[in-house]
Structure 1
Amino acid sequence: MKLKMMFLILFSVVLILSACAGNQSNQKASGNSKEADNNYPSQPIEIIVGFGEGGGTDTMARTLQPILQKELGESIAVRNMPGASSALALEYVNEQESDGHTILFQTDLVRVFPTMGMTDLTYKDFEQIGIGAMGIANFTVKDNSSLKTFDDVVQLLKDGNAKVGVAAIGDPWHLTLEIVNSVVGGDAEIITYDSGSNAAMAAMKGEVDFSISGVNEVVDLLRAGDLRSLAVMDNKAFEVDGLESIPPVTEFVSDLEKYVPEGTWWGPAVKRGTPEEIVTKIREAYNKAISSDEFKEFTKKRAIVLTDIEDSQEYTKQITEKTSWLLWDIGVGKRSPEEVGISRPKE
């Protein structure tokens, strides 16, 4: 009996010691994780750009890079990884550790992936740091075009006789056209030109009745007087140095209010699961960067709008739902957004 009692006592002691050791181990691991978060960044950082060198997204990332580097106190390299409309860049970042040392410089194209099928990744797989800048969509015509105001554009679309130039099917400029058509009951022949600036050149040559692109892509042609901008896809006038203010589409079609602003946007994101302390550090650095004089001068020169989106994650969710389902409903999408967990937006 005594031997049995002694065995039970020893067994209990072993269990208690094991539990204590386990708790100490867990506390140590938790402490190490917390310490790693507090020590961020602990190694060089990469910003991944899903497009080639010299393009608008690359140029913006490289403008922000030295400012972010200064704010975070660690070297930052911009790495270009073009392919599949930037889907390859998303997949690469998703394969890395969720430690904030690999940052995706994301664009609005993430909203079309659920239905266009370039990747199964969606905004849900990333934590949006912020959306600080946007290239607002505008409707441009050649200088001597018979289209004088956006009302003329709307009438041409209603008549079903419009020939419109955009960069690509599923891009922000094509989406802008489909939104306007859905509101005014219009239709158009769509011609793609690989970029918004090329589409604008087509309008200048008279190949199309009008083009849709970002103001930032055509600002030099507007200043030179080769093109006229009839309206911007926004609810306020667009001011550009050296030009008359460009009126908003809502001045002509009030029902477009709930669809504006529309255009291409840029902002960093990190892999889902990155510790909140690290996300906060990157967000604080990014907010300082986009508030800097250097970045403001960059955006002003290129006619890019600084945004005031407070919750970029929620904004990305809403714009993804709206865009993916619009493309699916008009027959452009290649798969239902439901296949990758994107719900239809509530009316």
Structure 2
Amino acid sequence: MKHKLLVLFLLLLSISMLWGAGNSESVDASYPTKPITMIVPYGAGGTTDISGRQLAVQLEKHLGKSITVINQGGASGSIGARTVLDAKSDGYTVLFTAESLGTQRVMGLSEMSYDDFTPIMVAVNDPKVIVVGKDSAYETLQDLVDDIKNRPGKVKMSYTGPGGSGHVQAMIYGKFGMEMALTAYPGGADCILAVLGDQVDFTNSNYSTVTGYLESGDLKLLGISALDRLEAHPDVPTLGEILPGSERYLSNPFTPLSLLVDKDVPPEVVTILRDAAKKAVQEPAWKEFVVKNSLDKLYEKYPDESSMRKFYKDWESLVSWMLYDSGVAKFSPAKFGIEKSQY
């Protein structure tokens, strides 16, 4: 009798384990079953926020669930990124971030990096542009560059904090003998408001955040921090034209925006999110958004996980060593095994 009961118990246990495994797979396959939260680790109104919200709208169409975008700025994106890692690794909390994950370790802001996440999509690069207020005495990019050179440390520039894309812009200026007075603000929109309020002389904004101000005439576009002029503004020169020798720095995408999840999110969920993201960027509304804001379609250049991870590795190497060699990084990239690229 005892033997029969033991056999029956083991049989029921086996059935239960098999059902549990099958049920787990069905849960993953049915993802999502509830709303998703997208953390944008910067203030509202900046390039990451604008692009993230647009992508969220398109993703909802293919995931069948609502996506709530939450801005959680501070510490160059590290606070919001930590929120995603601290959440349950089930794919219901995702991160839409700019490039700061590639610099947080060397800047001493956090111990996080791209390696702590699984990439869903390297989405777009928002070109950096140089803008001043409508009443600024600067009429051309050359005017601004000359004044910075003539008055070291006097011309004021707003940026989003240590290690951010604006900070990298300032380092490029520095390599060509230009020193500015830097003032940090929580996000890209705040940097623009500082220009509008005459708190600073100029800023290196992302193009998508200034289009409305350019159309209204509240800001003047002086230059493009890239090698190629924008189709929307063919008469505006690039920084490369004004600073000979800067080409090797300006070829880098300064503000790559990415959709990421915690590295422990199940592979089945990652696959569903990637499929939805690929469909989202084919939506007419997204394509119109990309064209209107002159965004670089990085998702076409880095279509799979291996190419995305290589992009992050190369970007991290270039910018981290630039920060360190300029004396602004707290730690050497070598401390984290980041090999030095040639730039």
TM-score range, shorter chain: 0.7 to 0.9
CA distance in 2, matches of 1:44, 1:201: 33
CA distance in 1, matches of 2:23, 2:309: 29
Partner of 1:127: 118
Matched, 1:86 2:82: no
CA distance in 2, matches of 1:93, 1:197: 23
SS at match of 1:176: helix
CA distance in 2, matches of 1:210, 1:119: 29
SS at match of 1:71: helix
Partner of 1:295: 286
- Structure 2 vs 1, CA of residues 212 and 127 (structure 1 numbering), >3 Å: closer, same or farther? same
1:69–1:76 contact (8 Å) kept in structure 2: yes
Partner of 1:239: 231
Aligned residue identity for 1:247: P
Q: CA deviation at 1:316?
A: 2.2
Count of paired positions? 326
CA distance in 2, matches of 1:158, 1:80: 37
CA distance in 1, matches of 2:64, 2:188: 37
CA distance in 2, matches of 1:245, 1:109: 31
Q: CA deviation at 1:237?
A: 1.5
Partner of 2:328: 332
The structure with the largest alpha-carbon Rg is 1
Q: CA deviation at 1:134?
A: 2.6
SS at match of 1:179: helix
SS at match of 1:130: strand
Q: CA deviation at 1:293?
A: 1.9
Partner of 1:315: 311
- Structure 2 vs 1, CA of residues 78 and 207 (structure 1 numbering), >3 Å: closer, same or farther? closer
User: Structure 1 vs Structure 2: percent identity of aligned residues?
Assistant: 28
CA distance in 1, matches of 2:88, 2:329: 32
Matched, 1:110 2:126: no
Unaligned runs of at least 5 residues, structure 1 = 1-13
Q: Note the 1:1-347 alignment, pairs <5 A.
A: 31-53=22-44, 55-141=46-132, 145=137, 148-150=140-142, 161=152, 163-167=155-159, 168-182=161-175, 184=176, 186-192=177-183, 194=185, 196=188, 210-225=202-217, 227-240=219-232, 243-252=233-242, 253-302=244-293, 304-307=295-298, 308-310=300-302, 311-339=307-335, 341-347=336-342
SS at match of 2:140: coil
Q: What TM-score does the superposition give when structure 1 sets the normalisation length?
A: 0.76
1:50–1:88 contact (8 Å) kept in structure 2: yes
- CA deviations on 1:21-42 (whole Å, 9 max, x unpaired) are 9999987766555444333224
Superposition RMSD in Å: 3.8
1:322–1:344 contact (8 Å) kept in structure 2: no
- CA deviations on 1:78-131 (whole Å, 9 max, x unpaired) are 334344333222222112333322211222222221122222111100012112
- CA deviations on 1:256-313 (whole Å, 9 max, x unpaired) are 2454244333221011133333222211211222232222333445554443441333
CA distance in 1, matches of 2:218, 2:234: 14
Q: What TM-score does the superposition give when structure 2 sets the normalisation length?
A: 0.77
- Structure 2 vs 1, CA of residues 22 and 337 (structure 1 numbering), >3 Å: closer, same or farther? farther
SS at match of 1:105: strand
1:309–1:315 contact (8 Å) kept in structure 2: no
Q: CA deviation at 1:154?
A: 5.5
Range with bigger deviation, 131-140 or 219-228:
219-228
Unaligned runs of at least 5 residues, structure 2 = 1-5
CA distance in 1, matches of 2:291, 2:174: 31
1:85–1:109 contact (8 Å) kept in structure 2: yes
